[in-house]
Amino acid sequence: MLIRFKKSFEKIAMGLLSFMPDQKEVKKLQQTIKEYETNEKWHLFLWKEEEDILGAVGIIQEDNDIILQHITVNPSHRGVGIGQNMVKSLKEMYKEPYRILPNKQTERFLSKCDVSNSDSENE
């Protein structure tokens, strides 16, 4: 299930975000986490199963657009649908009139998740 990021999960969140291509440097990771903590338009969620945090998804809310900024899953838990479940949960949280949109980094993944706001074209 998706839970909101809390300061107590900072190291776990940084570890997960470090799997994103643009988040390899510690300084960049710290800036990103600070943005999620201080910018009211930025929201970070963690995927929790039992007691384990297995993934993270970060969004930027611009009016009715929800920009999928970051999405990452612990490598040892990839390929079992956690990323798709995170996107599905986001879609349930941000129903109409919101639209979930990708950025350049998340575009390819989001296109695989069938969360388009129009009818699905490809399956």
Task: Report the Cα 65 to chain-centroid distance in Å.
Answer: 14
121 in any annotated domain: no
Return the CATH number at 105. 3.40.630.30
- Confirm if 67 and 104 have CB atoms less than 8 A apart: no
- Confirm if 61 and 43 have CB atoms less than 8 A apart: yes
81 in any annotated domain: yes
Phi, psi of 40 (to 5 degrees): -65, -15
Looking at residue 113, its pLDDT comes to 84
Looking at residue 120, its pLDDT comes to 35
Tens digit of each residue's pLDDT, the chain (123 residues): 999 999 999 999 999 999 999 999 999 999 999 999 999 999 999 999 999 999 999 999 999 999 999 999 999 999 999 999 999 999 999 999 999 999 999 999 999 886 444 333 333
102 in any annotated domain: yes
pTM of the model: 0.89
Per the structure, the complete domain to which residue 22 belongs is given by 2-112
Looking at residue 118, its pLDDT comes to 39
22 in any annotated domain: yes
119 in any annotated domain: no
118 in any annotated domain: no
